[in-house]
Structure 1
Amino acid sequence: MKLLLTSGGVINKSIHNALVDMLDKPIDECNALCIPTAMYGHPWVGPGKKVWDFISGKEQNPMVNLGWKSVGVLELTALPSIDKDRWVPLVQETDVLLVSGGDALYLNYWMRQCGLADLLPSLSAVYVGMSAGSMVMAPSIGEIFVGWSPPDGEDKTLGFVDFAMFPHLDHEMLPDNTMENAERWAAGMNGPAYAVDDETAIKVIDGEVEVISEGNWKLFTH
C-alpha cells in the first residue's frame, strides 16, 4: 500500500514532492476519486457547504485542486445500496484516493460497511488522507478524538499502519491541540503515536514509514 497521511492536506512543497514521487505518472495525467464521507460525521464540517468546498476544490487545504486529470466523487454511504460491479472497477482503475477530514470513526464504519476497507490492500492507487482520513489508518484513535460513536462503542480503526496520529498540532483554531495534550493522548495509546502539525505528513510505502515535514512533529514511543 502507498499511503500519504497528512494533517492539513498537500500544504507545502515537501509534501507535494512526496506525493509526486509516489505516483506512477505526473499529476495532470492522474485520475482521482475524492471521498468526503468523514465530513458528514463531524458537527463542524458537514453536511453542507464545507462538503461542497472539499469536493469542488474550493477548500483552503490543497487536495482536490492539485491539477488532476479528472476528479470523481466516491460517497461511501451510498455504496452498500448499489452492486459492487458498479463501483469496484472504478476504484481499481483510479490513480489516487483523496480522503477528507471529519470524523475518523464514522469514516471507519462506512469503509467497512461498503467493503472499501477490504479492497484497499489490493489497490495500486495512492491513498492521500487528511486529518480523519489519515487517522482512520491507525489501529485506534484515542478517546479524546471520539465524536460519532460506532455501534460497538470502541475507538478502533482500520489498523493498516501500526501507529496513531494526533493531527493539527498547535493549530491556531484548535487551542487544545498542544504538544502537552498530545503527550497525554499518546500515553493512553497502545504503540507508537505521532503528533503532527499541518506542515507535516507521514509517507508509508509497503510498511516503510517516513516523516515529511516543514513544521513541527514528535514521535511518542512506550
Structure 2
Amino acid sequence: MKLLLTSAGIKNASIHAALVELLGKPIAECNALFVPTALYPFPGSPYMAARAMSSNSQSRLWDLGWKSVGILELSVLPSIEEDAWVPTVRDADALLVWGGDPLFLANWMRRSGLTDLLPTLRPEAVYVGVSAGSIAVTSTFVETYVDPPRGTDGPLKSEDIVFSTPEGDVDRILVTGQGAGLVDFAVIPHLDHEHHLDASTANAEKWAAHIPAPTYAIDDDTAIKVVDGTPEVISEGNWKLFG
C-alpha cells in the first residue's frame, strides 16, 4: 500500500494533490475507513472524536468528499470474527488514521491484527496518517508523557528527559515504542507549533537522537508521501530531517 503521513491532515493544496495522486482517482469515487482509536486516552475523547468526524475539525480528513466513510474502531476488533471486518478493510481505497496517543494506537493496531494486515492490502490502497496515525506506522518512535503510560504492550523503554518550552524547562518521561514498521524512518509531527510547545526544533533534535532511524520533523503544512518504500516530502511549510 501507499502512505501519506501528515502532521495535521489535508491542510493545503499540495497535500490534497498528493492524496489524489496516490488514490489514482477522484476522492468522490473512493471509499474510506476512519480510525479514531488514538483519541481515547484523553479526557473528553468522545467529543474530540465527534469533532474529528465533522466539518468542524481544524484538520480536514473526514469531510473531503469521499464516496463513503466508515468508522473502524480498533479496540472492538479482537472481540469479533475477522470475517466481519477484514474484507471491509481490504476493499477500502483509503484508511484514515487519526491522531492522539501513538503508544496507545500502536498497541491496538497490534492487538486488533491491523499491524499484520496492513502489509497485505492492495498496492493501490492508501494509508493516511494524522499525527499519532503517522507515528504509529514507523518501526521505532518516541513520545513524552507526564506519567508512565498504562494499558499498552510491546517492548517499551522509558527515561526521564528535560525539554525546553517558552515557560521554561519541563521534566517528562520519554518513552520509546514500536510501531507497525511500514516505513524505515520516524516522524515527529507539529514542528514548532504554538500549541505543541514541546515539539520545537531543539526538542525534536533531542528526541531524534533516541531513534535508530532517519527522523523527519514536520510542521502542519508538511506531509511525507511514500510509494514503494521511497519517501517524498510534500510541503508548504517547514520540516527537518535528522540523520
TM-score where L is the length of structure 2: 0.86
Q: How many residue pairs get matched?
A: 219
1:210 aligns to 2:238 (yes or no) = no
1:148 aligns to 2:149 (yes or no) = yes
CA contact (8 A) 1:103 1:148 kept: no
Tell me the CA shift for residue 137 of structure 1. 1.1
Residue 98 of structure 1 corresponds to which residue in structure 2?
96
1:56 aligns to 2:57 (yes or no) = no
Residue 190 of structure 2 corresponds to which residue in structure 1?
168
Residue 172 of structure 2 corresponds to which residue in structure 1?
none
CA contact (8 A) 1:58 1:65 kept: no
State the secondary structure of the residue aligned to 1:129.
Answer: strand
Residue 209 of structure 2 corresponds to which residue in structure 1?
187
Tell me the CA shift for residue 55 of structure 1. 2.4
Larger Rg: 2
Residue 3 of structure 2 corresponds to which residue in structure 1?
3
**Amino acid of the residue matched to residue 32 of structure 2?**
A
1:85 aligns to 2:107 (yes or no) = no
1:68 aligns to 2:74 (yes or no) = no
Q: Distance in 2 between matches of 1:3 and 1:211?
A: 12
Q: Which runs of 5+ in 2 are unaligned?
A: 157-176
Determine what percentage of the aligned residue pairs are the same residue.
55
TM-score where L is the length of structure 1: 0.94
**Amino acid of the residue matched to residue 88 of structure 1?**
V
1:133 aligns to 2:133 (yes or no) = yes
Q: Which runs of 5+ in 1 are unaligned?
A: none
Question: Which structure's residues are more often strand, by fraction?
Answer: 2
State the secondary structure of the residue aligned to 1:165.
Answer: strand
Tell me the CA shift for residue 47 of structure 1. 2.2
State the secondary structure of the residue aligned to 1:144.
Answer: strand
Q: CA RMSD in A?
A: 1.6
Tell me the CA shift for residue 40 of structure 1. 0.7
Tell me the CA shift for residue 138 of structure 1. 1.1
**Amino acid of the residue matched to residue 29 of structure 1?**
E
Q: Segments of 4+ in structure 1 off by > 6 A?
A: none
Q: Distance in 2 between matches of 1:28 and 1:81?
A: 32
- C-alpha spacing 1:143/1:76, structure 2 compared with 1 (3 Å): closer
Of 46-55 and 140-149, the range deviating more from structure 2: 140-149
